[in-house]
Structures are given as C-alpha cells and as structure tokens.
Amino acid sequence: MKLVADRTDAREIAATIGAMFSEACDRFADRTLIEFGDRVIGFGETASAAAGIAAALAARGVGKGDVVALYFPNTPHYPVAFFAAMRLGAVVVNLTPLDAARELRFKLADTGARIVATLDEEPFRSRAAALLDEGLIDLLLLGGNAFWESGDPVAAEGDAILSIDAMVAEAAACPAASVAPGDLALIQYTGGTTGTPKGAMITHANLASAVAMFDAAVAATSAWRPGEERHVGVLPLFHIYALAGVLLRAVANGETILLRDRFDPAQTLTDIRYGGATFFFGVPTMFVALLELPGIAAGDLASLVYCVSGGAPLPGEIAARMGELVGQPPVVGWGMTETCGAGTLGRHGETGTPGAIGYPLPGASIEILAFDADRKPAGIGEIGEIAIRGPNVIGGYWNRPEESAEAFAAGRLLTGDMGFIDAAGQVHLVDRRKDLIIASGFNVYPRVVEEAIYEHPAVAEALVYGASDAYRGEVAVAAVTLRAGCTLEIGELRDFLADKLGRHELPARLEIHETLPRTAAGKLSRKDLRDAAAKGGN
C-alpha cells in the first residue's frame, strides 16, 4: 500500500540554510533565539557571532565545499558555528560526545575535515587536541561556555589553536557565499548499528524541505502560534532530530529555544513550570524520566501546548500518563537521518494505538513493500518494509556508492523499518528488520514485547533484544530498570505477560539494570545490550 501526503500546505521558505538564517535574523533581529542559563541571545547577536566566525575562517582560506567538524554538546557555540559554516558554503560534519577516539578519526578521515570546533572543557579539549597532535587536523577552534556569561574568551594558542570566542567578540563582517539548494550542507553519520557508520549526504534543499514539512503538519493539527513558542532545548543539536525539528524550525519562525547542555528532568520541569516552555520535542526516555520525578502533578506541565515523541516508539502507558498531565498525549513522529528527521507525524489530540507513528508529512510519499523478491506493495494491514520518498530524503551516502545503490531504489529510500498501513491511512511501526527475533521459527518483534512490559507497574524502562539459544535459535531477553522501591522476577513478569503476548513472545530471561544504554540522541540502545551479551556480559 502507498500513501501520498498533500503537498499543497507546505509553506515556502528559503531554499538554502544560510538564506533562511539571514532572512530570519533580519526579520526577527530583536527577538530572543536562545536562553542558555542566565544568558539571553537574540537573533541579531547570533547573526553577528556567526558572521564573525565566518570572517575568521574565510581569512584562513575556508570556503565553499570545505568540511568543518563540529564537536559540541548543547551550547550556543553550536548554532553560531553551524550558521557560520552555512554562510561560507562549507559542509558540516557532526561529531558526537559519545564517539570513541577511533570513531572521531574515522569520520575526519572519511570526510576530509581538517578543522574541528569544540568546547574548551573535558573531555572535548583533550580529545580534539590529540587529533591535532596526531596530524589528523590542521586547525582547532576552542570556545568556552563561560564566554556567554562573562564575556571572557578562551585564549588562542599559536596558529593551530584559535579562540572561537574571540571570533564572536570581533564580530567582523563576511559576505555570504553563493550556494544552491542542491549543494551539500551536512554529512550526518548514522548510528552505525549495522557496521561501519555511513555519512548521509544532506543538502540545503533536504533540510529546508524538512523544516517546511514539519511546519505544515504542525500547523494543520495544533494550536501552533508561529513566532511565540518557547522550545524545550534538551535534544542534542548535533542530532538531525533536534537540528531540523527544533533549531532550524525555531530560527525560521522567530521562536526561542531554552537551550540546556544536557537533559536533566528536574531542570526540564523547571523550564516548563516556570520558564513557560510550550513546545517539547523529545524521545520516550525523556518523558519516562519526567514522569518519574517525585511529586509531579497535574498543572506542572500546563504551559505545554505541543509535545512530540520521536526517535523510538512511545509506549502506550507512557503516552497515557503524559496525556493525564498535559491534557493531550504526545504526538508521535517517525523519521531517520536519511530523511532529515522528517517522515510521519500524528495528529494533535488523536489518541494513537501502540506502534502508530502518524501520517506522511506534506510532500512525503510512503509505501509498504513486501519482503519477496519483487518487492511488491503490501496490502492494508500487511507487514513489510517502509519505503519513503520526498524532497527531504537524501540522495545517498558519502563515499558509499554500493550501499547507496542498495538503500535507494527508484527514488525511494528502503528504510529497514518494518511496518504496515491501517485502513485509516495511519502508518504503524512494527520494528527494525535487523532487531527481529526468530524463536523456534516464530517472529518476535521486540517493540511489541516492550509495549506489554511497560504495563507492569514495577517497570520504569524496558528493552528487549534477541540472544542465541541452542534449542530455539534465539530467545527474547527483557532488560529493565525498576521504579523506586520495586522488585521483579522473571516468573512474575512472564505471568503478568501471559494474557498479553503469545507463548513464543514471552521473555526467556530478565535482566535488572540500574540504567539502560542510550545513544547520543538519548534513545535506548538494543545494540549495546546485544553486543554485551555476545561478549558474555550484561
């Protein structure tokens, strides 16, 4: 089956990210873009800071097509450095705080990036300095968060270590490069869950389209007030979900981000309760942590008008509890790095069933393909692979022609996600194809098992993964964290699940964890559990 969303309500925005940023800063110069601690940073100040960095880099020979690596947690340095690169027509590659040294080296070598901008804090400084010492980069740019509070810049150290703070403070002018919508803006690496990480080649047009598609869907189903919203800014900006869904959308619409260096549930509650946050784009683990705060009650989240859960399926139990506090359950969305985070989105106020991920965003086309050799479209309710096409979908992977050919067929992306479309036209996510567990010849979908486990009152978070078994081939293993003061045994869990799952789906083992592993974006990571189990640990 195939779904094609209405294209008519996606509004016109600038075709390149540099132009989008410049137009927004001219139009909203006096508005606040970022609140970081006690520091308020306006659109005009952000534009001046980005121009200063661009001018300093241009003086060092950086120009259109050059690759600049950004290695930041959430900090105002990220958006000013990102938009400086966009002004130059340079290409950004995001490095993440969870990257091991080997991964940092690989991404630099793979993209040819010879410049790294990072924070003058550990472990960022020492890891970046090691790259410079090893000759993997030529230039290191350092900035400190204290600069935004005190105005004191990090000092430069010779010709190879420069102060990004000083570049901001100098605020020199820099002409914008001539950039076309089809030019490369970003090389964004996927999680690498199936092997060597792949760099998604994201153009200006891809990013601009994702912003317009998000906006059109939000406007059609919510009480969005463009220019007035205040965004919870805890998703990592180096991740495509936050970059397109939060930062670029806030810029395009003249809105404010309450930027925090990391997710802290108590701080997030303060930002909502006292900071007047109205939009909260998050991942399920964030909503779980917020709900577990002692004493949280109706009224604490009253300022929120729109919540979106993405990155992973939202358990129905968590959606219901959030709905009690907010008045509406979070809207569930689905997207990938390869789609600039944009793909589907639920409708505000619509209570979805477990696994439902909404409807195609305006401009997107989604179809479900059978797993047979011909890859024919599946029927209503039939499970197959989700395939998507649209202006937000990338054209391929950096330096990976064979993998690009495998993933992109007839202009559509073969996502590797298993799902189906119901009679109402809503897309449902079943699981990642690679996460499928085959126990005694039966298919076991981890997400379905997790959904049932979340109904147990002792469980705070849950992940289910497959482990080798000599008799059944594979068995399901449930890894959980428990709510305060609770205990749980495997027999008790299986009894609880007996009327909710088939016998072949019941977990064979239970692991109790203090915390569950997460990706850099905050999503729970089955891969880490599988890898640990394969090595003989938990």
pLDDT tens track for 21-48 = 999 999 999 999 999 999 999 999 999 9
Whether 165 and 180 have beta carbons less than 8 Å apart is answered as no
How confident is the model over 129-149, as a mean pLDDT?
96
Q: Where are the domains of the chain?
A: 17-179, 199-432, 436-534
Name the band, by pLDDT with cuts 50, 70 and 90, for residue 527: confident
| pLDDT of res. 237 | 97
| pLDDT of res. 433 | 76
Asked if residue 190 has pLDDT above 90, the reply is: no
Would you say the CATH fold of 436-534 matches that of 199-432? no
CA atoms of 321 and 34, how far apart (whole Å) = 30
Angle at 17 between CA 179 and CA 61, to 5 degrees: 50
CA atoms of 156 and 163, how far apart (whole Å) = 5
How confident is the model over 230-254, as a mean pLDDT?
96
| pLDDT of res. 8 | 38
Domain range 17-179, its CATH number among 3.30.1490.190, 3.40.50.980, 3.40.309.10, 1.10.260.40? 3.40.50.980
Asked if residue 236 has pLDDT above 70, the reply is: yes
Instruction: Quick: pLDDT tens for 279-305.
Output: 999 988 899 889 989 889 877 898 999
Name the band, by pLDDT with cuts 50, 70 and 90, for residue 230: very high
| pLDDT of res. 1 | 60
Looking at the chain, how many residues does it have?
Answer: 538
Name the band, by pLDDT with cuts 50, 70 and 90, for residue 193: very low
| pLDDT of res. 372 | 77
- The average confidence (pLDDT) of the chain is 90
Looking at per-residue pLDDT, the higher value among 185 and 501 belongs to: 185
SS3 label, residue 124: helix
Asked if residue 442 has pLDDT above 80, the reply is: no
Domain over 436-534 is classified CATH 3.40.50.150: no
Asked if residue 311 has pLDDT above 90, the reply is: no
**Percent of the chain whose pLDDT exceeds 90:** 67
How confident is the model over 321-339, as a mean pLDDT?
91
| pLDDT of res. 9 | 44
DSSP class of residue 175 equals: P
CA atoms of 400 and 121, how far apart (whole Å) = 34
How confident is the model over 101-117, as a mean pLDDT?
94
CA atoms of 406 and 418, how far apart (whole Å) = 17
How confident is the model over 193-199, as a mean pLDDT?
64
Strands (E), 73-167: 91-95, 115-119, 139-143, 161-163
Name the band, by pLDDT with cuts 50, 70 and 90, for residue 422: very high
Handedness of CA 181, 186, 189, 190 (dihedral sign): negative
Whether 188 and 201 have beta carbons less than 8 Å apart is answered as no
Q: Tell me which range, 292-296, 331-335, 414-418, is most confidently predicted by mean pLDDT.
A: 331-335
Here the tokens at position 98 are 């969870």
How confident is the model over 2-14, as a mean pLDDT?
58
CATH fold of 199-432:
Rossmann fold (3.40.50)
| pLDDT of res. 88 | 97
Nearest to 75 by CA among 140, 143, 11: 143
Here the tokens at position 487 are 């205990």
| pLDDT of res. 171 | 80
